[in-house]
Amino acid sequence: MAASLSGLVSYVIHAPAQGKPAERQLPLPLPILLHNSAIHTTIASRSAIHHFTNTQTSIPKHTAPHRTAAMAKPKSKPAKDPITIAEMPLSRPPPSTSTSTTDGGGGPRPKTLVDLIEEKRPRHPDGTPILPSDGDDDDVVLFGAGMTAVTWTVPLAMLLFTFDVLVHQQYVQEVDVAEILWRVVKAVPAIFILLYVFHPRRHWASVQLFFFVVSVVAGCWVVHAVNKYGYYKVMKRAPPVGTLWIWAAVEMTLGPVVLSSLVVAGYTWWMGYGF
Mark whether 182 and 202 lie in a shared domain.
Answer: yes
User: What SS3 class is residue 157?
Assistant: helix
User: By residue range, what is the domain housing residue 196?
Assistant: 145-271
- Tens of pLDDT, residues 86-125: 666 666 666 654 455 555 555 667 777 777 777 777 777 7
Does one domain contain both 190 and 259? yes
Q: Residues 182, 153, 155, 251: is their CA dihedral positive or negative?
A: negative
Q: Is residue 180 part of a domain?
A: yes
Residues whose CB is less than 8 angstroms from the CB of residue 226 and which lie 6 or more positions away in sequence, other chains included = 234, 238
Q: Are residues 200 and 169 in the same domain?
A: yes
Q: Give the whole-angstrom CA distance, residue 124 versus residue 79.
A: 10
| Residue 149 and residue 240 in one domain | yes
How many CB atoms within 10 Å of residue 10? 10
157 and 208 share a domain? Answer: yes
* 20 within domain boundaries: no
Residue 33 lies in a domain: no
Domain identity same for 182 and 130:
no
Number of domains the chain is built from: 2
Integer distance in angstroms from the first to the last C-alpha of the chain? 139
> pLDDT tens, 28-64?
444 444 445 545 555 555 554 455 445 444 444 444 4
Rounded alpha-carbon distances, angstroms, from residue 13 to 2, 103, 190, 192, 196: 17, 104, 110, 106, 100
Q: Is residue 19 part of a domain?
A: no
| Residue 129 within a domain | yes
Q: Mark whether 169 and 83 lie in a shared domain.
A: no
Average pLDDT over residues 115-136: 68
Assess whether 166 and 229 both reside in one domain: yes
CB 124 within 8 A of CB 76: yes
Give the residue-averaged pLDDT of 155-179: 93
Please check whether residues 263 and 152 belong to one and the same domain.
yes
Residues 135 and 175 in one domain: no
Q: Are residues 211 and 127 in the same domain?
A: no
Are 122 and 181 part of one and the same domain? no
Under the banding of pLDDT at 50, 70 and 90, the label for residue 194 is: very high
Question: Within a domain: residue 164?
Answer: yes
Question: Does residue 22 sit within a domain?
Answer: no
